[in-house]
Structure 1
Amino acid sequence: MTRYRTGLVYGVAAYVIWGLLPLYWGALGETRAFEIISHRAVWSLLVCFIALAFRKEFRSAFKALKNPRTLALLALTSGLLSANWAIYIWSVTVNRVVEASLGYYITPLVNVAFGVFMLREKMRPLQWAAVSVAAIGVAALTFDFGHLPWIAIGLAVSWGLYSVIKKSLPVTALQGLTVETLIAMFPTLTYLSMLQVNGDAAFGNSLWLSLGLAGAGIMTVAPLLFFNGSTVRLPLSVVGLLQYITPTIMFIIGVTVNGEAMPLARWIGFFAIWVALIFLGSDLWKSGRASNQGIAQS
């Protein structure tokens, strides 16, 4: 298998796993969203440690702890990542996967906006067209929901800010995730300990549920490793186009598996977003380059 095809397999695998995660979180039943998030952080840290040991990157990962600026920014990204996980998993537990998929559809558009306002980048004509059409889509969805699509906006903004900050840090995705989950350990373990003491924890109630919560670590880190394998083998323009696999799978799950409502106004809103992404994808392909921002998912 050629290097390009191997990268393509890794990239598709990463985005398909991310897209199927709503089924995984949904299979955890009535478990509290914050308990799922907490277990995701704890078991992800364990899997990160194993992966770092295997790749012999422990020393590189923890160099970040010696640099006050890097450590402070990783503390900030840890908070943004936790917020993103919280919104995402909560949206699954309340059967709002379609709106969550919208968040990951509009993330590249939000990144364009961040590039303009935070990094002083200039927008190209197709990017202007994409943002304008997307604004129409968001307006249609706001009309349909009766309020702004806060889940989608929260996911896109938290992940967009996370990506912008991570872009400036001298760590790999795996190293960064290790430090971020390590920073989150104190509140996470405190919360899980309180649940256990009060007898409210889902973990330990059944073998399969406990294994499912523990498996959250593998389900978080494995696609990240596949993603890293794809980025070193594929042009970033290709990786940037592959990212739409994830929200598309999520959208299909929301509509077909969860049976979430899709009235006409919602279809119009999503259609506008898809047209905007065609403009953005065309610009991405035409320019022959893609930003790292927002390509990986949560």
Structure 2
Amino acid sequence: MTTLTRYRTGLVYGVAAYVIWGLLPLYWGAMGKTKAFEIISHRAVWSLLVCFIALAFRKEFRSAFKALKNPRTLALLALTSGLLSANWAIYIWSVTVNRVVEASLGYYITPLVNVAFGVFMLREKMRPLQWAAVSVAAIGVAALTFDFGHLPWIAIGLAVSWGLYSVIKKSLPVTALQGLTVETLIAMFPTLTYLSMLQVSGDAAFGNSLWLSLGLAGAGIMTVAPLLFFNGSTVRLPLSVVGLLQYITPTIMFIIGVTVNGEAMPLARWIGFFAIWVALICLGSDLWKSGRASNQGIAQS
């Protein structure tokens, strides 16, 4: 495979991953009045099944479950399992209550939260464009707080949970697929207990309709497929390009929230989002410049 072909393949994988993630609000919204926690529970159960199939196909079963033998790795995966569950819960709940625009804000500010985590947790030094991005983003969040009448908790919850999840996962000796397998496996006891209670009480949506049941079961594919596409892109593309592609997801979510769901966008909210977009342009420029500098350094070495 030539370098150009490899790059184009990585680009296709990356765009596919972020487009699927961006369209997920439409998928969860199609579940109708199904309880958010039932959707989350089915997402975990069917994701685990798809993960098992993917691991078997890739012959990674043994390496995936080596993590269970290491107490430190297992403890950290239990923590990331909780963070992932919290992220899924906030995200799917935001869709069920028609607050997709605020959820999109969460994924817009996640890169900025990652910069903050790098400074406070990893003692990294911020570059000038990063300082500019964080400062402008703070103005945007202030404008949105004024508009909402409170802090945008959905956005903050999504950004912080995903940011912490990403920071911890970077330190673990597992692939994204292996990690997701163990994380969903850890969550199985409470998940299956909750779904069993719903079935016994007759409150479960699963089984009431063929299409709804297929939709809930399909949550596994909708979760694992973009993850595999994402993995395929990260091994073929520079991180600077992957970092820029990530803005596809919240942009699609924002468009869905405004056009499909008809969510209100008063002036103060537009100002807040505009400030966030300016901040992301600053951050994207910094990412692109640092990525090019790294690539030049590698080429010269």
Instruction: Name the TM-score class by shorter chain.
Output: over 0.9
Whole-angstrom distance in 1 between the partners of 2:46 and 2:230: 19
Deviations 1:64-97 (A, max 9, x none): 0000000000000000000000000000000000
Whole-angstrom distance in 1 between the partners of 2:103 and 2:248: 14
Larger radius of gyration: 2
Q: Secondary structure at the match of 1:294?
A: helix
In the alignment, structure 1 residue 14 sits paired with structure 2 residue 52: no
Whole-angstrom distance in 2 between the partners of 1:109 and 1:230: 22
TM-superposed CA distance for 1:155, in Å, is 0.1
Whole-angstrom distance in 1 between the partners of 2:250 and 2:113: 15
Q: Secondary structure at the match of 2:104?
A: helix
Whole-angstrom distance in 1 between the partners of 2:202 and 2:248: 40
- Counterpart pick for 2:255 among 236, 252, 256: 252
TM-superposed CA distance for 1:266, in Å, is 0.1
* Residue 139 (structure 1) aligns with: 142
Contact 1:167/1:292 (CA < 8 Å) preserved in 2? no
Contact 1:160/1:294 (CA < 8 Å) preserved in 2? no
Contact 1:164/1:293 (CA < 8 Å) preserved in 2? no
Deviations 1:156-205 (A, max 9, x none): 00000000100100000000000000000000000000000000000000
Q: Structure 1 residues 297 and 60 mapped into 2: Cα distance closer, same or farther (>3 Å)?
A: farther
Q: Structure 1 residues 294 and 223 mapped into 2: Cα distance closer, same or farther (>3 Å)?
A: farther
* Residue 128 (structure 1) aligns with: 131
Q: Structure 1 residues 40 and 263 mapped into 2: Cα distance closer, same or farther (>3 Å)?
A: same
* Residue 190 (structure 2) aligns with: 187
Whole-angstrom distance in 2 between the partners of 1:254 and 1:4: 32
Deviations 1:257-283 (A, max 9, x none): 000000000000000000000000000
Q: TM-score, normalised by structure 1?
A: 0.97
| Matched pairs, number | 298
Quote the RMSD (CA, aligned, Å).
Answer: 4.3
Q: Structure 1 residues 293 and 271 mapped into 2: Cα distance closer, same or farther (>3 Å)?
A: farther
TM-superposed CA distance for 1:296, in Å, is 27
TM-superposed CA distance for 1:291, in Å, is 12
In the alignment, structure 1 residue 91 sits paired with structure 2 residue 91: no
Q: Secondary structure at the match of 1:108?
A: helix
Contact 1:3/1:233 (CA < 8 Å) preserved in 2? yes
Q: Structure 1 residues 169 and 20 mapped into 2: Cα distance closer, same or farther (>3 Å)?
A: same
Q: Specify every segment of 5 or more residues in structure 2 that has no aligned partner in the other structure, as ranges.
A: none
* Residue 42 (structure 2) aligns with: 39
Identity %: 98
TM-superposed CA distance for 1:295, in Å, is 23
Contact 1:18/1:297 (CA < 8 Å) preserved in 2? no
* Residue 203 (structure 2) aligns with: 200
Q: Specify every segment of 5 or more residues in structure 1 that has no aligned partner in the other structure, as ranges.
A: none
Q: Structure 1 residues 109 and 296 mapped into 2: Cα distance closer, same or farther (>3 Å)?
A: farther
* Residue 285 (structure 2) aligns with: 282
Q: Structure 1 residues 297 and 22 mapped into 2: Cα distance closer, same or farther (>3 Å)?
A: farther
Q: TM-score, normalised by structure 2?
A: 0.96
- State how 1:40-189 maps to structure 2 within 5 Å: 40-189=43-192
TM-superposed CA distance for 1:218, in Å, is 0.1
Contact 1:167/1:293 (CA < 8 Å) preserved in 2? no
Q: Secondary structure at the match of 2:132?
A: helix
Q: Structure 1 residues 274 and 296 mapped into 2: Cα distance closer, same or farther (>3 Å)?
A: farther
Whole-angstrom distance in 1 between the partners of 2:250 and 2:212: 26
Contact 1:239/1:295 (CA < 8 Å) preserved in 2? no
